[in-house]
Amino acid sequence: MESDFPKIDTREMGSTGEKVSAIGLGTYGISNYKKGEEAFAYAVERGVNLIDTAEIYNTEDFVGNVIRKVGRENLFITTKVAPKNLTSKESTLRSARGSLKKLGIKTVDLILIHWPHDTMSISEQVKNIESVQKEGLTRYIGVSNFSVKQMEEARSSTKSSEIVCNQVEYNMSKRDVEKDVIPYCEKNEMSVVAYTPIEKGTPNMYKGMKDVSISTGKTSIQISLNFLMRYTSVLPIPKSENLEHIKEILGSTGWRLKDKDIALLD
Ligand SMILES: NC(=O)c1ccc[n+]([C@@H]2O[C@H](COP(=O)([O-])OP(=O)(O)OC[C@H]3O[C@@H](n4cnc5c(N)ncnc54)[C@H](OP(=O)(O)O)[C@@H]3O)[C@@H](O)[C@H]2O)c1
């Protein structure tokens, strides 16, 4: 490891007291496992510990390989239960056990409701996801793609757990969460995990981006991620299986956009 390489910034996951890296890594669509494992190991050596997967991504086995490569203690692993498996306590536990088997671990750090089931009540969904924590299969629970109203219902339905995050789409072209989801999460000490944060690798070249890129010496990907991280609750999880892309992503932390640059991008 290059010891002089600055470790990337850390943030707290919700109000758990758990330190996670300000940038996490998504895994949807990883296809070249060997290349991906090397790129992920590089990121972990530089302080990235947050890794995101889901039972429907077919990448839990890839994350299992990463865990064995870098060591379980160096990672904070999130997976997600698909709504179709949330319909009973038994099916939710079966899904979680299936995920753990593919990951090759006994407990995940965080499990999310991938998106709200469209006919079940939120309280039933929360009861079932809480059972995963009660069984000791996850340390924390959270939600994804929940509106403020759904988060309110979820938070008031918990019996013994807290909802530590909401994972939502957030990037420079999709900023509606700034109006309601982010303020709600900040007020209630929840993290906002930002998915598709670099718009699939081609951030929109807004007016101002070029000027900010020249004045900061950073790329549009780095500026976009730093822009999202101006909220301390936000944890972007870009996906890359390409070492050069991961290096660029990691260069989005350790510095801050000036207020005038934020205003220009805003
Ligand atoms: N909760 C949900 O409902 C939900 C929904 C969607 C996604 N997610 C999670 O969020 C993660 C990220 O979102 P996403 O995968 O949709 O989109 P994203 O992270 O915005 O973009 C990923 C794409 O960008 C490319 N890329 C990465 N770094 C790059 C760079 N420096 N230069 C150019 N291209 C680059 C990647 O290709 P390379 O691999 O070749 O670098 C990949 O094709 C997912 O992987 C998943 O874990 C969650």
**Closest residue to atom 34 of ligand 1, CA basis:** 201
Question: How far, in Å, from the CA of 90 to the mean position of ligand 1?
Answer: 32
Question: What is the structure's pLDDT at 3?
Answer: 47
How far from 44 is each of 48, 130, 200, 212, 239, CA to CA, in Å? 5, 29, 22, 29, 14
Ligand 1 pocket test, pick from 198, 219, 248, 249 with the greatest ligand atom count within 8 Å of Cβ, gives 198
**Closest residue to atom 7 of ligand 1, CA basis:** 195
Quick one: CA dihedral 42, 44, 46, 50, positive or negative?
A: positive
Q: How many CB atoms lie within 10 A of CB 199?
A: 17
Q: Is the CB of 221 under 6 A from ligand 1?
A: yes
Burial classification of residue 70, based on how many CB atoms lie within 10 Å of its CB (0-12 exposed, 13-18 middle, 19 or more buried): buried
Ligand 1 pocket test, pick from 56, 240, 243 with the greatest ligand atom count within 8 Å of Cβ, gives 240
The pLDDT tens digits along the chain (266 residues) read: 444 567 799 999 999 999 999 999 999 999 999 999 999 999 999 999 999 999 999 999 999 999 999 999 999 999 999 999 999 999 999 999 999 999 999 999 999 999 999 999 999 999 999 999 999 999 999 999 999 999 999 999 998 899 999 999 999 999 999 999 999 999 999 999 999 999 999 877 777 899 999 999 999 999 999 999 999 999 999 999 999 999 999 999 999 999 999 999 98
Ligand 1 pocket test, pick from 23, 25, 28, 234 with the greatest ligand atom count within 8 Å of Cβ, gives 28
Quick one: CA dihedral 157, 116, 233, 62, positive or negative?
A: positive
Question: How far, in Å, from the CA of 224 to the mean position of ligand 1?
Answer: 13
Plot region of 136 (φ>0 → left; ψ -120 to 50 → alpha; else → beta):
left
Which domains are present in the chain?
A: 10-198+233-255 (3.20.20.100)
Question: What is the structure's pLDDT at 167?
Answer: 98
Question: How far, in Å, from the CA of 199 to the mean position of ligand 1?
Answer: 7
CA 127 to CA 177: how far, in whole Å? Answer: 26
CA 227 to CA 24: how far, in whole Å? Answer: 15
The two tokens of residue 253 are 């932390």
Question: What is the structure's pLDDT at 2?
Answer: 46
Q: Is the CB of 199 under 6 A from ligand 1?
A: yes
How far from 74 is each of 51, 69, 156, CA to CA, in Å? 11, 10, 33
Q: Is the CB of 11 under 6 A from ligand 1?
A: no
**Does an H or E element contain 245, and which?**
helix 243-250
**Residue 15: which of 233, 181, 178 has the closest Cα?**
233
For the entire predicted model, the pTM comes to 0.97
**Closest residue to atom 17 of ligand 1, CA basis:** 196
Is residue 127 classed as helix, strand or coil in its secondary structure? helix
The two tokens of residue 104 are 């090759």
